Structure 1
Amino acid sequence: MCNTCIASIVYCIVQTINYIFLIFVPWETSDVSCQWRGYFGYMSISAATYSYLIQAISRLFFSKFSTKYPGLLTFRTHYYLILIHWIVVFIIPLSSVITKDIYFRPGLLCWVPLKYTIHVAYTAFAYYFVPVSSIIIIYIYIYRRIKNGSKRAEIILNTANDKRDLEVFRNIVILLSIYITGGIPTLLFLLFTIELCYLAGIVTFTLAVTVEKICTILLDRELRQVVWNIIFSRNRVTPFENTIIRTRHIVNFRRS
């Protein structure tokens, strides 16, 4: 989950920079600069989507291989997963800077133009279809395994873990659905070149990230309680100087 939060932060930062260039820095017309903005834009999108794939793989390790391969449950294994995730994320969008398909276009973000059909298809396949379809397949497998195995005696002993897996599955499906919904206007623009969908796509995916973070807090009981305590904490904070003065008065009183 922390890796997904980092990926979301990276996405917000990168997209904010892209919007700043689009709206407030119109005189920056360099094609090379536009290519790199496109690269980091696609990188941030894939970072968010593939982070959920890493979560799904982690849940698969706990659900399927926890007994046979306990080494897969260690922090070291998950560190390797996160490392692989970021290596893949930085490699996938390299086509944005290797090719010359992305170039500066006034009033538009630095995405691959629709006329480059193969490149557009690659972006949709690599950034959306591969991680989303993989996540769906993994969680369908986990769900069916839990349902089919619940009738066996050895699985019944792990009912609490199964319920936890189903709860995590439900939460991640909800959060992933929010991301998918945020990308629908952009997909419609790529398919039908509707300008309104392009303008909506500028806002919806970033809005989806914000909604996803809010839902993360609402769906996680412990995180929700922590946030609630931070916002509505009634504990009075005593200034440090007052504490020192009060302590000195007590010491002087005892001496007298």
Structure 2
Amino acid sequence: MNTTAFANSSLDNNVEDYRIVALISLIFVIIAVTISTFILILVWITKPRLHTINHLLMCNTAFATIFYCVTMKINFAYVLFGQWNISDVSCRFRAYFAYSGVAAVIYSYLIQAISRFFFSVLSAKYRRLTSFKTHYILIVCQWIVVFLLTSPSVLTNDIHFVPNVFCWVPLEHMIHIAYTVFAYYISPIMPVVIIYVYIYVQVRKTRVNATATSQNSQKRDLDLLRRVVILLGIYLTGGIPTLLFMLTSVRLIYMINLVSPSVCVCIEKLCTILLDREIYQVIRAKIAQAAPVTPFGTGVILIGSEPRQRNVRHDI
């Protein structure tokens, strides 16, 4: 086989691999986007029960998930069908929005941790920190920070268009890769861990002498901390193949890396509904209301061919 034929064969194999990966990823992305949209609608229509700070932040994470999933599908579409657009600038912007989607989800968990810190530690002295206004400001700041942190994707010339390859920072640009890992993963995760450890220690210290009401509040705080840590852990699991690929450069791991975030995002959204008691109860209540009720005993007796109404006596 000559060099040209070998190159064409490798290119066909790449495209075929991407098609399989894209199909698998698409299934999980559709589920994740559907659940995220469902959460947004459910919180919006269930007033006032779900109109809380916790569910506001949950909706922010759901919106970030939708943003991430859409950018990933656009990237897959360009890899498989968009080879007419070979502009480096377009490729950099696709990378920019893809990285922004990843960072937005992780930083949404950071502001959830900050919110828990406000409620658990600072609420007694600074009540305004637990207001909706403060949390709207947190959400706006989160998105501004995310779009600023990911700007090196378009401000540098590190990303170039390569046929049948995702628009990411190439491994040879190690400084940019290191910045990506630190800014998008380590930088938000470390404060989350520190905040939750601090809150947990403080709650355990004050629990002994706390009143029954305070103990119930602290139990809710610990339950919420556990839920957020579980969800964040599921999401971060999707980044393990990325780290393995950076260390090994094995193509199979790269393909797994393209699928694993979609799978973990889907699982994370399912667990969001199952772990949030309020949303779970609202869903159960709506299902119960929608279920048809079959009456038992109509009070009618058929004798011969004519129905007669049974005389029923109610003794009190």
Report the TM range for the smaller structure's normalisation. Answer: 0.7 to 0.9
Task: State the partner residue of 1:170.
Answer: 226
In the other structure, the counterpart of 1:109 is 166
Paired residue type of 2:114: I
Give the match for residue 211 of structure 1.
267
2:192 counterpart residue number: 135
Residue 158 (1) aligns with residue 214 (2): yes
- In structure 2, the partner of 1:66 is 123
In 1: Cα distance, 2:260 partner to 2:135 partner: 31
TM-score under structure 2 length normalisation: 0.71
Distance of 1:40 and 1:218 partners within structure 2: 30
Amino acid of the structure 1 residue aligned with 2:207: S
Superposition pairs of residues 1-80 of structure 1, within 5 angstroms? 1-80=58-137
Match of 1:198 among 232, 241, 254: 254
Instruction: Give the conservation status (yes or no) of the 8 Å contact 1:35–1:103.
Output: yes
Residues matched between the structures, number: 235
**Aligned position for 1:179:** 235
Report the secondary structure of 2:239's partner residue.
Answer: helix
Distance 1:54 1:235 in 2: 42
Which residue in the other structure is 1:251 paired with?
none
Partner Cα distance (1:229, 1:196) in 2: 45
Letter paired with 1:6: F
Cα separation, 2, equivalents of 1:22 and 1:42: 17
* 1:126 Cα deviation after fit: 0.4
Distance 1:225 1:65, change over 3 A: same
Match of 1:250 in 2: none
**Aligned-residue offset at 1:156:** 5.6
CA contact (8 A) 1:150 1:156 kept: no
Contact 1:179 1:209 in 2 (8 A): yes
Q: Structure 1-normalised TM-score? A: 0.88
Runs of 5+ consecutive residues of structure 1 not aligned to the other structure: 237-256
Gap regions ≥5 residues in structure 2: 1-57, 294-316
Cα RMSD for the two superposed structures: 1.5
- Please give the per-residue CA displacement for 1:142-175, whole angstroms capped at 9, x wherever unaligned: 101101111234x664111100111011111110
Per-residue CA distance 1:202-252 (angstroms, 9 max, x = gap) = 11001111111000011112212333455562159xxxxxxxxxxxxxxxx
More helix by share: 1
Paired residue type of 2:117: L
Distance 1:208 1:157 in 2: 37
Structure with the greater relative contact order (CA < 8 A, sep ≥ 6): 1 or 2? 2
Counterpart for residue 239 of structure 1: none
User: What is the identity, as a one-letter code, of the residue corresponding to 1:31?
Assistant: D
